[in-house]
Amino acid sequence: MNSQPNLAPADMTISDRQVNEVVVRRDQHAGWRLEVPDENRPGGVFATIVVDKESALKLAADMYPTAKVRVVDGPPTT
């Protein structure tokens, strides 16, 4: 049994739009960012920060199972 709460509908952002691509990258302060395009958010991105890359990839797969996940392994951008 999964103890994680269901955080979002299967492949939707908070604005209920279809998600085609999710970007996972290092955060400039700490951890890893999960980024989803959303023109209604500051900077045009809905971002969630998690502790490590594995957690970001799992969250991307759980929240957006039909989206392409692009991983940016370089240093964080400012």
Q: What is the pLDDT of residue 16?
A: 61
The verdict on residue 4 lying in a domain is: no
Q: What is the pLDDT of residue 58?
A: 96
Q: What is the pLDDT of residue 1?
A: 46
pLDDT digits (tens, 9 = 90+) for 12-70: 444 466 889 999 999 999 999 999 988 888 889 989 999 999 999 999 999 899 999 99
Number of Cβ within 10 Å of residue 8's Cβ equals: 17
- Phi-psi domain of 62 (left: phi exceeds 0; alpha: psi -120 through 50; beta: other): alpha
Number of domains the chain is built from: 1
Q: What is the pLDDT of residue 4?
A: 45
> Residue 41's domain spans which residues?
21-72
Confidence of residue 6 (pLDDT cuts 50, 70, 90): very low
